[in-house]
Structure 1
Amino acid sequence: MAPAYPQLTTYLNEAGTDGYLINADGEDSNQYYLSGFRAMGNFVTLYVNGEVRLLVPDMAYARANTEGDGDSVRRFSEFDYGSKVLEHGPARAGPIVTTEFLAENDIDSVSVPASFPNGAADVLRAHGVNVVTDYDDTVGDIRALKTEVEIEHIRETQRANESAMAVAERMLERAAVESGVLHLDGEVLTSERVRRAIEVTLLEEGCALDECIVASGAEGATAHAVGTGPISAGDPVIVDIFPRNKESQYFGDVTRTFVKGEPDAKVREWYEVTREAYETALETIQPGVTGEAVNEAVCDVFEREGYPTLRTDEATEDGFTSATGHGVGLDVHEKPKLSWGGGELRPGHVVTVEPGLYEQGIGGVRLEDLVVVTETGYENLTDYSRELGVM
């Protein structure tokens, strides 16, 4: 049985709609959060009168009953889905079945997320259902406030994440320098090779990820470049890992910067200033402070030291070229944000703190931890050395 969501009920009352409707597969985080069910194909979740009611394809019916959080579960065949496919085609049959499901629940109007399928919305409206788009992502707001159980899930993922980071660091430590390029066990050490070791470690820890960043040298200055090719001595290497736990579905996120050999004075200065910006962000985080205020405090540090930020030049490609952080949960990027327009932080918000400095053609440094906002400030969910990793 799903918990009641008073915030969602309040939203429905203010919007003047009867229920909240999601039509998506189980990979959609709002869908999974409300339904507790992960399915490959699309299904329907209706939140009404404090209850979650599911409408699923017949093949998913048994699993939805045993694995999902629905207070009730109906299947497509109960609404004569097969004949509707023959009469209207598969693209319209599902939404037509949904209109009958809504009618059964005395629903004349629904709020839907901005991602709701346009074709399904057209069919619902054609059958007299008023469809109102929730552009504020109310379910996303609810998801942003983590329970103790969710925080523990994220903490568990972050522990696995740190194990993977340690593997990457040990590979760089063990590497020898030959003609300015790193070699490990007789072979050139590449970003791809480090990334593969990270992925294997995470699989052994029960986590998975689509990609991670091992970007050295100039690639470290390119936003979200994953990194390719041999790693050179003296270049800063940004390692950014953001896996999802395969059981709980919650993400972790951590970044560290390493240098094999002696970093030049510029890289050391970048890291010292970035570390100060990181500590300033943590000192600013507390309930009632906005994410925008945290970002402003970080910009103050960088600008005082003469580095451009997006606040001073929104088109800059050098300096502090990102936001301070973002929420983490069922998505690796979710609410709240530590950036312009970032709203008030509340206990239970889990956010990254990830300042960095970058210069195109040269490289960059970044330091990222994952913290949870508490009643009195924050708790750092990350337990890994925060020094520039020089080896």
Structure 2
Amino acid sequence: MQVQEPQVSSEKSVATKLKTGVLIVNLGTPDSPSTPDVRKYLREFLMDGRVIDIPYAFRWMLVNLIIAPFRAPKSAKVYKELWTERGSPLKFYGEDIEKMLQAQLGEEYDVKLAMRYQSPSMDAGLELFKKSGYKKIIVVPFFPQYASASTGSVYEKTMRIVKEWQIIPEISFVNTFYDHPKFIEYFATAARNYMAKQDYDYFMFSYHGLPQRQIRKGDCTGNTCQFGSCCDTIHSMNQYCYRAQCHETTRLLVKQLGLKEGTYATTFQSRLGSDPWVQPYTDVVIKELTAQGKKKILVFSPAFVADCLETTIEIGEEYREMFEEFGGQHWQLVESLNNSPMWVDLLEDLVKKA
């Protein structure tokens, strides 16, 4: 009697070939430090209605007639200081992480790097997932704390792209990781390396700023946000508040490092325009600290996962020069996650939980 070989289900065979697409998304960077490329980047970035949240006509005039023409040449000079042989750190660190995360996740996943503004584009990354028939797409914005102008913009762009697709696969978004144990552990470990070599009399946690009006817009109750003690804890009414999440990151790092009350501050940098932004401002606090006789400060920038213009240049150089000008002696910036293995471990955890 002839024994027949067991038949393998074609459905099972197809299923084993299906993959999950992982789109990791950072803010963006100019294609080069030339003035035309910087101007192009600024126009795309600042014309986003979630970044400058004013009516389109006024935003168009502000960006195209004032900011881009006059700011681009100045910004281009700063980008030239930042640029390396590999290009923009924000981009090449992203490329490193793309390869490292792909190796760690394995063949069941395909990892693609994208930028919210400029290249590589989100359109190209998502189109690749569409054409290849992925069973699921996971979008991971590279912003630890949620803000409408960053994470929210990535969500909106994703939905704007896929709404035209005939078949939309399951899509998951990573929302935040400001309190993830590995995120806190990374900065605490990096800080301890500096603290082992130098005694610091103050610790500053500097986050990217936001206009106060954007924080208020996110207050679903209309009266929770007071820019004060309302951010002392995370609860249901402020769980998506950028300011509250920043303060929570600080609290977790302070606890991990065992810092004493009165030896640290949460501040906000990079404000633009005359409207009030989230306070206290980093540059103002620097002046106050030097007036109090603080000489040695260790600075964290936990709103960024890759060192960039806002960390390397603004905090690492401009604020250091200001600190020294007012009498400070030692100013040290703790580096961002960049291409560290711990960052890859964190991302793997986020992806698999998504």
User: TM-score scaled by structure 1?
Assistant: 0.26
Asked which structure has the greater CA Rg, the reply is 1
Identify the structure with the greater helix proportion.
2
- TM-score (norm: length of structure 2): 0.28
